[in-house]
Amino acid sequence: MMPCTKESEITFEKTPKYLRKPSVPERIISTYKETGIEPKLILVLCDPAQRVFSDFKFSKRNGNESYFNQVSS
């Protein structure tokens, strides 16, 4: 869960991994609605080929290529 913020503040967090699991946005919204807060989710997309290549380079650099091996098989 995101840290508490004042009404005048905006909390921001980003990760492309949220896009891999369709249940995540629903879970975020339902979690916050229990507190009376209605979160606004903003999705910013970039060129898909550049995004995948960037994710691949990041995963390779960190020794986590298993995701890409599963997708390609």
Q: Quick one: average pLDDT of 20-47?
A: 82
Counting other chains too, the contacts that 9-17 makes at CB distance below 8 Å and 24 or more residues apart are: 16/51, 16/55
User: What pLDDT score was predicted for residue 55?
Assistant: 83
Given a cut of 70, is residue 59 above it in pLDDT? Answer: yes
Instruction: Using the structure block, give the residue that is written with the tokens 């960037």.
Output: 54
- Return all residues near 18 (Cβ < 8 A) that are at least 6 apart: 24, 25
User: What pLDDT score was predicted for residue 11?
Assistant: 74
Given a cut of 80, is residue 6 above it in pLDDT? Answer: yes
User: Could you give the CA distance from residue 21 to residue 65 in angstroms, rounded to a whole number?
Assistant: 18
